[in-house]
A and B are shown apart, each in its own frame.
Chain A
């Protein structure tokens, strides 16, 4: 789905920097400027160590920048307290990780339901909402399975369903196909395409160009700086 260029950006990053340590300091991000519109699908491409994971962590309010500003839906995220950032993650952000991060002792549907517990929503309908999310990713028939019985692609679909249950404003994906074979990768990307088509805003980092090409927009990280992707 095409983003609405006239609308204010959902994500607006300006002069963003992140430095680790002091002796000597490591500049993971340097002067990053980026804006993401609603219904955008952005791929951030870069080699290992280029700073793309650090950028995603800051966009996901899991880390704080040491320089610059980050506005999410007009909110100055850098000024938020730890609890407020947790609240923002809870209500507006969804995550899909390379290593899935499923709790292996819980069933598939319980793994999806867990995403709602920090919102203090009523428990009524929680299972039904989780089942609907699993249905959306094509795993309705695996609801009671343990994650250990699923393939890599299926596990990633569970992680996506977990992120979708909360209807996040922004879906952040950290190498979502990094542990998957090519067939499963295509299936997952098809799923992202369908989600984006239905209006989901997605920011995805990857080091695979073929994966990045599926996104509607690509940027490249090189040594902590962002470049519009001329290489694609």
Chain B
């Protein structure tokens, strides 16, 4: 037998010794692993939440912006007459396949006319307001996704008859001091009395309506001599905007389609990427900082462990362990701690993503690669963190280790 042949350590023995080293001080190991758990959990949760929130934000953005088309007439050429949008734009649009809702909107120039809740001026408080007045076709409410808080919306009949009825935006209602329609409140625009039949809760599009008094288009035509609608708001199905935007000019103005300006939403993919990139960068930075803290924890505790186990290192060297065997054992211990931290952290991070998504009724979005890679990332962090302590352990002279350790 060659007595001087290098000693050898089987992989399974190395694994057993490393695991044995970890469980020698279970509380300390648990606390050390906790650092990585927090780091990985933070990283997984932040990546997951950024994707989930980003998806939600972008989803909302896509849903609203990517399905909206606004049509106006181009400014007239010098000396030419402005192009008028047809009164039946709503009906024309609804015939197009891919249109979900459509309506016309016009901001009415009421001149100096103020909106009041009473003909009697009350000197103690403001009763006259300079509010925006808008004319809308009945379908416009659906096209801007208006929510009704109180009362009802006006319909085709109100418009055809020119009824003096109004629907208030929530800000307008607040300024006018009207919080319900049960008492049949009335307002005046200039000298004309209008019955308030509904109050909006909010609109998803055309936010100027929030502070407006909205009257039927037919009423506006009769009262304010409205010649034609100002703009057509169209909600399309997702993905139909490009097609619809090419059809709209011909449908609305077959004799002069070029006179119309069709505003289509920006390229959604680019917007999605921009929003997600901003979110991801911020959250990954936060998770990265947490992970660095975890790595420092592993390095610190492994170094302390090496110092405390000097005697054990000396014993192992006396039993025939080479420097490499000592380094391998401590590296595997720190890598195992990191991997355990990675598994636990990935689990907790995933649970956080699911819990937050469930609470907010969002769809949790997490790349499957993230929780699967987390244990590897943890192991790599443990490996790197354990490198310096392991090298220090391996460099110990056996005689010194035996003398200083007990």
Interface residues of chain A, those whose CB is within 8 Å of chain B, are 57, 60, 62-63, 72-73, 75, 80, 82-93, 95, 97, 99, 101, 103-106, 110, 114-115, 117-120, 123
In the bound complex, do residue B4 and residue A117 qualify as a contact, i.e. CB atoms below 8 Å apart?
Answer: no
| Chain A residues within 8 Å of B402, by CB | 62, 97, 101
Which residues on the B side are within 8 Å of A83 (C-beta)?
6-7, 322, 324
Once bound together, how far apart are the Cα atoms of A93 and B3, in whole Å?
10
Instruction: Select B7's contact among A62, A90, A110, A114, beta carbons within 8 Å.
Output: A90
Identity of the chain A residue whose Cβ is nearest the Cβ of B324 in the assembled complex:
A83
Q: Is the CB of B323 within 8 A of A117?
A: no
CB B397 to nearest CB in A, in angstroms, measures: 7
B3 touches A87 (CB 8 A): yes
Given known contacts A88-B3, A92-B3, A101-B402, A118 and B20 CB-to-CB distance under 8 angstroms: no
Cα distance A62–B400 in the bound complex, in angstroms: 9
A84 near B318 with CB under 8 A, answer: no
Q: Which A residues lie within 8 Å of B4 (CB)?
A: 75, 80, 84-85, 87-88
A2 CB to closest chain B CB (Å) equals: 25
Verify B322–A82 contact, CB threshold 8 A. yes
Restricting to B320-355, which residues have a CB under 8 Å from any CB of A?
320-325
A-B contact pairs, 23 of them (CB 8 A): A82-B322, A83-B322, A86-B7, A86-B320, A87-B5, A89-B7, A89-B317, A89-B318, A90-B7, A90-B319, A99-B406, A101-B402, A101-B405, A103-B24, A103-B312, A103-B315, A104-B24, A105-B24, A106-B24, A114-B316, A117-B10, A118-B322, A120-B8
Q: CA separation between A115 and B311, bound complex, in Å? A: 15
User: B8 and A105: CB pair below 8 A?
Assistant: no
Q: Given A87, A101, A115, which contacts B314 in the complex, CB threshold below 8 Å?
A: A101
Are the CB atoms of B320 and A90 closer together than 8 Å? Answer: yes
Among B12, B317, B322, B397, contact of A123 (Cβ-Cβ < 8 Å):
B12
B311 neighbours in A (Cβ, 8 Å): 99, 101
Q: In the bound complex, what is the Cα–Cα distance between A157 and B368 (angstroms)? A: 55
Q: In the bound complex, do residue B6 and residue A89 qualify as a contact, i.e. CB atoms below 8 Å apart?
A: no
With a CB–CB cut-off of 8 A, which chain A residues contact B8?
118-120
Contact indicator per residue, chain B 372-406, by CB within 8 Å of chain A (1) or not (0):
00000000000000000000000001110010011
B-chain residues with CB within 8 Å of residue A95 when the two chains form the complex: 318-319
Max chain A Cβ within 10 angstroms of own Cβ: one of B5, B318, B397, B398 = B318
- B112 within 8 Å of A (CB atoms): no
For residue B325, which residues in chain A have a CB less than 8 angstroms away from its CB?
118
Residues on B close to A: CB < 8 A?
1-10, 12-13, 17, 20, 23-25, 311-312, 314-325, 397-399, 402, 405-406
- Given A106-B20, A117-B13: A91 in contact with B322 (beta carbons within 8 A): no
CB neighbours (8 Å) of A57 from chain B are 399
The interface centre, meaning the residue of B3, B397, B399 with most chain A CB atoms within 10 A of its CB, is B3
A86 touches B322 (CB 8 A): yes
Report A112 CB to chain B, min CB distance, Å.
11
Known: A62-B317, A114-B316, A123-B13. 18 other contacts (CB 8 A): A57-B399, A62-B399, A62-B402, A63-B397, A83-B324, A84-B6, A89-B317, A89-B320, A90-B320, A91-B5, A95-B318, A101-B315, A103-B24, A114-B319, A117-B10, A117-B17, A118-B320, A120-B9
Whether A82 contacts B323 by the Cβ 8 Å rule is yes
Closest to B1 in A: A91
The one of B3, B7, B24, B323 in contact with A118, judged by C-beta atoms closer than 8 angstroms, is B7
| Alpha-carbon distance between A62 and B312 when the two chains are bound, in angstroms | 14
- Nearest chain B CB to A123's CB is how many angstroms away? 7
Contacts of A84 in B (CB 8 A): 4-6
The interface residues of chain A lying within 8 Å CB-to-CB of B406 are 99, 101
Which one, A72, A87, A97, A123, contacts B320 given CB within 8 A?
A: A87
- Of B25, B316, B322, the most chain A CB neighbours within 10 A belong to B322
Chain A residue numbers with a CB within 8 Å of B1 are 91
Could you tell me the distance between the alpha carbons of A83 and B319 in the complex, rounded to whole angstroms?
A: 12
Q: B20: which A residues are within 8 A, CB to CB?
A: 105-106, 110
The 6 closest A-B pairs by CB, nearest first: A90-B320, A105-B24, A120-B8, A118-B320, A90-B7, A84-B4
**Whole-angstrom CA separation of A93 from B317 in the bound complex:** 12
The reply to whether A105 and B23 contact each other, CB–CB distance below 8 Å, is yes
- How many angstroms from the CA of A16 to the CA of B392 in the assembled complex? 30
Give the one of A63, A75, A90, A123 with max B CB within 10 A: A90
- Which of B7, B314, B322 has most chain A Cβ within 10 Å? B7
Q: B405 contacts which chain A residues (CB < 8 A)? A: 101
A106 and chain B: residue at smallest CB distance: B20
**For residue A106, which residues in chain B have a CB less than 8 angstroms away from its CB?**
20, 24
CA distance in complex: A88, B214 (Å) = 97
A79 to chain B, nearest CB (A): 10
Closest beta carbon of chain A to B19's beta carbon, Å: 11
Cβ of B20 to closest chain A Cβ, rounded Å: 6
A88 vs B321: C-alpha distance when bound (angstroms): 10
> Contact between A118 and B321 (Cβ–Cβ < 8 Å)?
yes
CB distance from A20 to the nearest CB of B (A): 11
Residue on B nearest A92 in the bound complex, by CB:
B3
